[in-house]
Structures are given as structure tokens and as C-alpha cells.
């Protein structure tokens, strides 16, 4: 059973990372990650976690998930690099402008706190 948990913890993030081809998939993948994180955050907030269990969770769940996500993202990045740059659409411009605005705003806010 532990092997199945580790395998699924590796395969599901790998498939999810390979499926991210459009912006909608990023939102879907973030939603799935949020659903998985809710019980963990609930246990942390209520202090009802078992400290010894965190080692098992880390080795059986988080490390395979990180390896699967990392491998999937590396394969996706390689595929996109080999395909070359795509057409720049209105969606790309809006996303780029939003990220630039968030970055500049965050930088100014953090510089004001210093």
C-alpha cells in the first residue's frame, strides 16, 4: 500500500504537469493542489498533527510529488523550448502586464517597509 501511495504521489503530479498546456490547466492544477492542502492546513491550524507522522508524509507523499512535478515541468519546458516561441495573443499580453504590475507593486511595497 505504501508503494501505491508513493507511485500515485509521483504519477498524479507528473501527469498534471505534463497536461499544463493552456492557462485553464494552471487554474485547475492550482485548485487540485488547494484541495489537497486544506486538510494539512486544518491540522496545522488546530495543532492536531502527529510530529512523527510528518517524516512519513514527507517521504511517502511530498518527495515523490515534488519529483513528479519537477520531471513533468522539465519535460514541458523542453517541449516548449523545442517548439519555439508561439504567437503573442491578447491573453499573453494581459497576463504579462498583470505579472509586471504585481511585481512592480510588490517591489514598491516591500521597499517602503524597509
Can you give the pLDDT of all 114 residues of the chain as single tens digits?
677 777 877 887 777 777 766 555 666 666 766 776 777 777 778 877 777 777 677 777 778 877 887 888 788 788 888 887 777 788 888 888 888 888 888 777 776 654
pLDDT at position 60 is 76
pLDDT at position 22 is 59
Please report the sign of the dihedral spanned by the C-alpha atoms of residue 56, residue 60, residue 65, residue 67.
positive
The phi, psi pair for 54, rounded to 5°, reads -65, -35
pLDDT at position 28 is 66
Amino acid at each position: 500500500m505504501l508503494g501505491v501511495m508513493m507511485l500515485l504521489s509521483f504519477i498524479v503530479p507528473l501527469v498534471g504537469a505534463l497536461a499544463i498546456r493552456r492557462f485553464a490547466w494552471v487554474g485547475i492544477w492550482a485548485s487540485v493542489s488547494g484541495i489537497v492542502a486544506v486538510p494539512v492546513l486544518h491540522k496545522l491550524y488546530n495543532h492536531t498533527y502527529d510530529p512523527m507522522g510528518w517524516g512519513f508524509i514527507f517521504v511517502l507523499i511530498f518527495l515523490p510529488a515534488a519529483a513528479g512535478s519537477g520531471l513533468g515541468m522539465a519535460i514541458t519546458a523542453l517541449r516548449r523550448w523545442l517548439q519555439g516561441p508561439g504567437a503573442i495573443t491578447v491573453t499573453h499580453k494581459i497576463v504579462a502586464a498583470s505579472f509586471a504590475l504585481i511585481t512592480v507593486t510588490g517591489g514598491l511595497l516591500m521597499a517602503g517597509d524597509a
